[in-house]
Amino acid sequence: SFQGIYKYLERCFSDFKQRGFVVGYDTRGQVTSNCSSKKLAKLTAAVLLAKDVPVYFFSTYVPTPFVPYAVQQLKAVAGVMITASHNRKEDNGYKVYWENGAQITAPHDKEIIKCIEECVEPWNGSWNENLVDTSPLRQDPLKKICDCYMEDLKKICYHRELNEQTNLKFVHTSFHGVGHDYVQAAFKAFGFQPPIPVPEQKDPDPDFSTVKCPNPEEGESVLELSLRLAEKESAKVVVATDPDADRLAVAEQQENGRWKVFTGNELAALFGWWMFSCWKENRSEDADVKNVYMLATTVSSKILRAIALKEGFHFEETLPGFKWIGSRVKDLLDNGKEVLFAFEESIGFMCGTSVLDKDGVSAAVVIAEMAAYLEHKNLTLAQKLIEIYETYGYHISKTSYFLCYDPPTIKRIFEKLRNFDTPQCYPSFCGIYNILHVRDVTTGYDSSQPNKKSVLPVSKSSQMITFTFQNGCVATLRTSGTEPKIKYYAEMCALPEQSDRTVLEEELQQLIEALIANFLEPDKNGLIWRSA
């Protein structure tokens, strides 16, 4: 399949052979099929080297964000990262990054698939994975990229003296993946003592033997080992990077000894507050808040919108998936704007703009600096989160999913919403809850726009409908791009004066129950509930 990518790049870039291509990989290994990420990476590199294209091939596994970072630093035409991120151990896959350092979006993805379909016969020499070890066109960018990355990281370090003095201890788990060395180096770059690693999970293990699934989003159940170690070491904060280190989970021990595992949306509230405060304290005289941006995907919390409205900077939404954020941020930067932070609710964060993709390594050390700063003020992350909600309005969200292995059923569920009581008509109520607006990104419809057209690009290949309710709740139903799931996202966005959290939580819960019963009808449609 990689030959197709080569063919497309050759078409796009006349200077392909001068500028070269970046190849990175994680630590996955398919013991059964003898097909590891590294082997796939070597085959990928061989296709290019056989065609006399210079290849920057990392000599060891790296975090996913290192590939887009290297593409920009080395001015390569593109890059590929062989990874299946946090999917099951049986999976593998790859991500392609364009010359701008962002993941590819339309039209490149469609064009590449077309080229892949035209190139099914393997070319001569392209199965010779040893080319990587013998070709003079292969360079190892590891040291240069690692050094540059850590240097660039210091641009978002604002309290080095506090970091050097803090008594706060941190535990880091790398979930049997690539993160350990890089997170250690990042803490060092910020002046911290190294975080305490979880010994059983610090080294790469393609079988992920100590977790039932290698996805830190699953919360406390998969963080078991790191929380127990933190208790033993009296470390108050645990940071967890997923196997390819582009996402971050965080837990903090509370006064009562219990652990709070933050959701992606809660962490975003903290990051948004922090990155803006740091910008404000360090800005130059002529820096204009109207030039400042933060971004989120449309299924993520709207907390940044609330902060932006009150503080005067801009907030923008994109389609789900960090590739949309990456390419939009690149546009903004090219137009002289300053982007401080962007996120997606599935614990993907981009602090600063050195990497135009989500990055768990930088996010981990920024959270550590924030925790050290707050501790100095006798506050915890959880207490600060409540302060943020009280200032900007509570944003309480819940995200979950149903499994459905029958594509026609999924299609039927969404078609019913488009023809609810009468043909061509979306629902105006969900149980007792009045619906103000409907946006359907699959068809490009948006009832809140004067011309009824969605501002976000139409995305015909996947299902996604968003309902805005009279009571301030926003809920989205969508299909997953990579798994047989119907996901739902719901959030109560309250104004600062509505500060009764319990009331808001109950209302959200009841609305979700109505959404499931009326719109998804799990029993009738044979949907499998997510095992709690």
Q: Enumerate the active-site residues.
A: 85
Residue 479 tokens read as 């299909």
**What's the token pair of residue 453?**
């057209």
Q: What are the angstrom distances between the C-alpha of 197 and each of 184, 227, 233, 236?
A: 9, 11, 11, 14
Cross-strand bridge partners of residue 496? none
- C-alpha span between 210 and 292 (Å, rounded): 43
Strand residue runs (E) in 231-361: 237-241, 248-253, 259-261, 292-297, 314-318, 338-344, 348-351
Cα separations (Å) of 294 from 46, 277, 306, 343, 484? 40, 13, 11, 9, 31
Asked if 321 and 481 count as a contact pair (C-beta separation under 8 A), the reply is: yes
Q: Please tell me the distance from the alpha carbon of residue 29 to that of residue 203, in angstroms, as a whole number.
A: 14
Tokens of 347: 């614990």
Give the whole-angstrom CA distance, residue 276 versus residue 377: 18
* Cβ atoms of 132 and 57 closer than 8 Å: yes
Distance CA 81, CA 427 (A): 42
Q: Please, are residues 494 and 473 in contact by the beta-carbon 8 Å criterion?
A: no
Please give the backbone phi and psi of residue 293, each rounded to the nearest 5 degrees, phi first: -130, 150
Are 454 and 444 in contact by the 8 Å Cβ rule? The answer is yes
401: Cβ contacts below 8 Å, ≥ 6 apart: 480, 485, 486, 487, 488, 530
**CA dihedral for 231, 237, 239, 240, sign (positive or negative):** positive
